[in-house]
Chain A
Amino acid sequence: AQTVTQSQPEMSVQEAETVTLSCTYDTSESDYYLFWYKQPPSRQMILVIRQEAYKQQNATENRFSVNFQKAAKSFSLKISDSQLGDAAMYFCAYRSLFISNYQLIWGAGTKLIIKP
């Protein structure tokens, strides 16, 4: 079974600085999807960025980018120019390509604090 691990329960960063959130996963599959979701205090789950494992190029979405290291099974999220609105829980998630396993498998989350 696949597992997702986020080893940083909490991270803090100064506004306008850059922060990197870590995520590692375990799988025997060669193709899959990886995601970062943001959960602000409103509790709404918001997709931040996604990466297809077969793509070598790291995904980017504006200030958000990932460092995908397939061999190391590592999927970190870099937030540049941190803003107060980035304060939230961030969850890393894995999704299999096998039809019986389409659900998202989640890490425990990292709480990101932005210092003004």
Chain B
Amino acid sequence: DSGVTQTPKHLITATGQRVTLRCSPRSGDLSVYWYQQSLDQGLQFLIQYYNGEERAKGNILERFSAQQFPDLHSELNLSSLELGDSALYFCASSVWGLPSNEQFFGPGTRLTVL
């Protein structure tokens, strides 16, 4: 158990809908990362937050947005969902968000868009 929690574990929804994925980092970790893993592929970085502020952005679609709240939990919002958004979404956290800080991964949220 990494100490990072993600809810829900599974999400099934229809095209055009909007969903929110939630992540609680490890106690004491200030930085949160979101990654997308499509079927049998490597992870794609979406976005990073540090202490409530956006720090880095990857190939995140405009239909996707995220935020980190004062209690440091983070939410990833996916809207106008398409079939291709079906994937495993990981949240990871680290202490300071520095390269030397290990990233601890949550169990992921499996999103299925029908």
Interface residues of A (CB under 8 A from B): 4, 32-33, 42-47, 50, 52, 91, 93, 95-97, 99-109
Contact = CB atoms under 8 A, between A and B. Distances in A.
Contacts of A108: 41-42
Contact of A45 (B40, B48, B56, B90): B90
A44 B97 contact: no
A103 B58 CA distance: 8
Contact of B43 (A33, A42, A52, A104): A104
Contacts of A100: 56
B21 to A, nearest CB: 15
B55 interface: yes
Nearest to B46: A103
Contacts of B48: 102-103
Interface residues of B, number: 26
Contact of A101 (B44, B56, B92): B56
Interface of B: 2, 33, 35, 40-45, 48, 55-56, 58, 88, 90, 92, 97-100, 102-103, 105, 107-108, 110
Given A104-B33, A107-B42, 10 more contacts: A32-B99, A43-B88, A46-B105, A47-B102, A50-B102, A100-B56, A102-B55, A102-B56, A104-B43, A109-B42
